[in-house]
Amino acid sequence: MENKKRLQIIFAMTSIICMLIMLVSYISSIIKGNTEPTLMTWLFFCIAVTLSFITYMKTKKHSLLNNIANFVDLGFVGLITTTIISVIIYKHIRIKINVFDSGCIFLVLLILIFWFKTKNHSKANIFLQVLMVVAYFPMIYHLWNTSKNIEPLGPWFINLVAGFCYVLIAFLGKDKLAKIYAIRMVTMLSIVIFLIMRIKFF
């Protein structure tokens, strides 16, 4: 086995362990009511991550190992979104869709139309990364404007460690789309962690 491939597998195993720890910790926090995640953010993550994986696998150069981040996120984001929706249903919480949410839905539709018409899987994938950046905005806005810590620091930090593993895997595999996915992930996670630390320590 090549050294690069061996390193990729080691980093992939490390990232999967990190994500499993994060998943259990975050879901536990949601169920206990210690975390108040933004439903629309996670719902858009769920849609964008699924479409991102499909468009990536449709490209000529694709590798499940190179883009393990997207593959793992399918289960990770799906389970968290399902948990949030279950808690909302159980507690009879009313959900309101605002102008921003409607705009994100419109962006999803535009990307889908572009993808179906052009069959340009790579560009559609990149547009979906932009959508995932935009999907963070409700969470970022909420964290910036609250004095109450609504997100646990630990799970997000563990997620960031996994993110750095994904970056290394993507660069070792010399995979452009996998690099974009991983770098986008690490950048947005860093912003969220900074905002959580701002509330917690300052």
Which whole number is the average pLDDT over 153-172? 95
State the average pLDDT for the chain. Answer: 91
Given pLDDT bands bounded at 50, 70 and 90, which one contains residue 67?
very high
Dihedral sign (CA 140, 48, 188, 165): positive
Which whole number is the average pLDDT over 179-185? 97
Residue 174 falls in which region: left (phi positive, over 0), alpha (psi -120 to 50) or beta: left
pLDDT at 1: 58
pLDDT digits (tens, 9 = 90+) for 109-118: 999 999 999 9
Is residue 141 pLDDT above 90, yes or no? no
24-49 as b/e: b if 16+ CB within 10 A? ebbbebbeeeebebbbbbbbbbbbbb
Percent of the chain clearing pLDDT 70 (strictly above): 100
Given pLDDT bands bounded at 50, 70 and 90, which one contains residue 164?
very high
- Rounded CA separation 61/122 (Å): 10
- Please count the other Cβ atoms lying within 10 Å of the Cβ belonging to residue 193: 16
Helices 137-144 and 39-58 meet at what angle, rounded to 10? 150
Tokens of 107: 């962006």
Tell the residue number behind the tokens 């320590």, with chain if given.
201
Given pLDDT bands bounded at 50, 70 and 90, which one contains residue 82?
very high
pLDDT digits (tens, 9 = 90+) for 96-129: 777 877 888 888 899 999 999 999 999 999 999 9
Candidates 40, 62, 38; CA nearest to 52 is: 62
